[in-house]
Amino acid sequence: MKILHTSDWHLGKYLYRKKRYDEFKKFLDWLYETIETEKIDALLVAGDIFDNTTPSNSAQNLYYKFLAKVSQGYCSNIVITAGNHDSPSFLDAPYQVLEALNIFVISSADDDTPEKEIVVLKDKNGKPEAVVCAVPFLRERDIRKSSTAGETSEDKENQLLKSIKEHYRKISSIGEEKIKKIEEKEKRKIPLITMGHLFTSGGSTTENDGVRELYIGNIKHISPDIFSSSSAYTALGHLHIPQTAGGKEDIRYSGSPLPMNFGEAEQNKSVVIIEFNQEMKKQIVQKPVPEFQKLIQIKGSFEHIIDEIEKLKMGNSNAWLEIEYTGKEIIAGLKDELDKAAEDTNLEILRVINKKVIDKVLSRDSESETLETLTETEVFIRRLDAEDMPEEQKNKMLELYKEVLLSLDQEPEER
State whether residue 209 is helix, strand or coil. coil
Spatial CA neighbour of 78 closest among 288, 235, 242: 235
Q: What is the pLDDT of residues 61-79, one digit of tens each?
A: 999 999 999 999 999 999 9
Q: Which CATH architecture has domain 2-288?
A: 4-Layer Sandwich (3.60)
Pure H helices in 231-354: 302-314, 334-341
Q: Where are the alpha helices (DSSP H) in 292-354?
A: 302-314, 334-341
Query: Cα 44–265–407 angle (5° rounding)?
Result: 60
Enumerate the CATH 3.60.21.10 domain ranges in the chain, comma separated: 2-288
Within a 10 A sphere around the Cβ of 311, how many other Cβ atoms?
Answer: 10
Which residues belong to CATH 3.30.160.720 in the chain? 295-414
The distance of Cα 317 from the centroid of its chain, to the nearest Å, equals 28
CA torsion through residues 243, 227, 189, 131, sign: negative
List the chain residues with pLDDT less than 50: 213-218, 365-370, 407, 409-415
What distance in Å separates the CA atoms of residue 193 and residue 134, rounded to the nearest whole number?
8
- DSSP letter at 268 equals -
CA gap 83, 14 in Å, rounded: 18
CATH number assigned to the domain covering 295-414: 3.30.160.720
SS3 229: coil
The answer to pTM > 0.75 is yes
> What whole-number percentage of the chain has pLDDT above 90?
65
Longest dimension (CA), the chain: 76
Please write down the long-range contacts of 173-176, taking CB distance under 8 Å and 24 or more positions apart: 174/114, 174/115, 174/117, 174/118, 174/133, 175/118, 175/131, 175/132, 175/133, 175/228, 175/230, 176/228, 176/230
